[in-house]
């Protein structure tokens, strides 16, 4: 089955310099969309988006900047009817040792930043007669993790925000869905490994009973392309009756019903 609903459409992707964001941008381009790829200026310099994407620096913590960016994109490239919010940051460490500054950083990007980005995108898509919005959250939003409390809490907030937004915008023809990746082969994931290379990957796949963490039943980590495929489906015409869904793409790691 070929996914449809992208040809000639304008899409905005946040967090486009990350491993998952890059894969989503590439998939949208291949599907025929016009893609505006946004991220911090330093991130875009270090990891330029795929050829064909239109790169714009954006800090999602700045609500006014996000609104201006969406307006500027529409003025230059036409109505936005597809949006992907993939920006996020990770924090590791026990909650009792977490600084207030680090908590504020997690909430500022992963929760407040999600609000800024999806509010602006939701307004634009509704104004333009409907479309689809997908946010990349995490399976950590739905299961406790040791040393990931701030990250999990911020992602849980983002997940419920998108579901509520989907309820509010359903009558406007805007579908709002979540993709919740598990362990994925990106720099964010490998940066957490205490072992090198294959040993680090095996440790994630096997799980850790001491840390109350199950392994991955499929015996492999996701690739960014796995996550992008799920995002593209939820954006497509073929998911035209799907909204407020929270799709876990984690190889069964959370044993979620």
**Is the dihedral angle over the CA atoms 217, 219, 221, 223 positive or is it negative?**
negative
Residues designated as active site: 151
What is the full DSSP assignment across the chain? ----S-TT-EEEEESTTSHHHHHHHHHHHHTT-EEEEEE-HHHHHHSPPPTT-EEEE--TT-HHHHHHHHHHHHHHH--EEEEEE-------S-GGG--HHHHHHHIIIIIIHHHHHHHHHHHHHHHTT-EEEEEE--GGGSS--TT-HHHHHHHHHHHHHHHHHHHHHGGGTEEEEEEEE-SBSSHHHHTT-SS-HHHHHHHHHH-BGGGTB---TTSSPBPHHHHHHHHHHHHSGGGTT--S-EEEESTTTT---
| CB neighbour list of residue 213: distance below 8 Å, 6 or more residues apart | 145, 146, 207
């Amino acid at each position: 089955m070929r996914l449809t609903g992208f040809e000639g459409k304008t899409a905005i992707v946040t967090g486009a310099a990350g491993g998952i964001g890059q894969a989503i941008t590439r998939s949208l381009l291949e599907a025929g969309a016009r893609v505006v790829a946004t991220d911090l200026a330093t991130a875009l310099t270090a990891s330029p988006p795929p050829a064909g994407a239109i790169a714009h620096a954006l800090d999602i913590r700045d609500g006014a900047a996000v609104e201006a960016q969406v307006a500027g994109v529409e003025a230059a490239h036409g109505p936005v009817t597809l949006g992907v919010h993939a920006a996020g940051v990770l924090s590791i460490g026990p909650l009792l040792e977490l600084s207030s500054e680090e908590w504020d950083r997690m909430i500022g990007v992963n929760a407040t930043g999600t609000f800024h980005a999806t509010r602006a995108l939701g307004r634009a898509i509704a104004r333009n007669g409907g479309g689809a919005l997908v946010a990349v959250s995490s399976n950590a939003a739905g299961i406790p993790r040791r040393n990931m409390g701030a990250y999990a809490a911020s992602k849980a907030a983002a997940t419920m925000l998108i579901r509520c937004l989907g309820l509010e915008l359903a009558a406007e023809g805007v579908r709002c869905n979540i993709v919740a990746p598990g362990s994925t082969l990106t720099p964010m994931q490998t940066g957490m490994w205490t072992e090198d290379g294959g040993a680090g990957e095996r440790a994630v796949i096997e799980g850790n009973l001491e840390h109350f963490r199950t392994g991955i039943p499929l015996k492999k980590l996701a690739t960014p392309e796995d996550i992008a495929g799920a995002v593209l489906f939820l954006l497509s015409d073929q998911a035209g009756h799907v909204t407020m869904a929270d799709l876990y793409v984690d190889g069964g790691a959370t044993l979620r019903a």
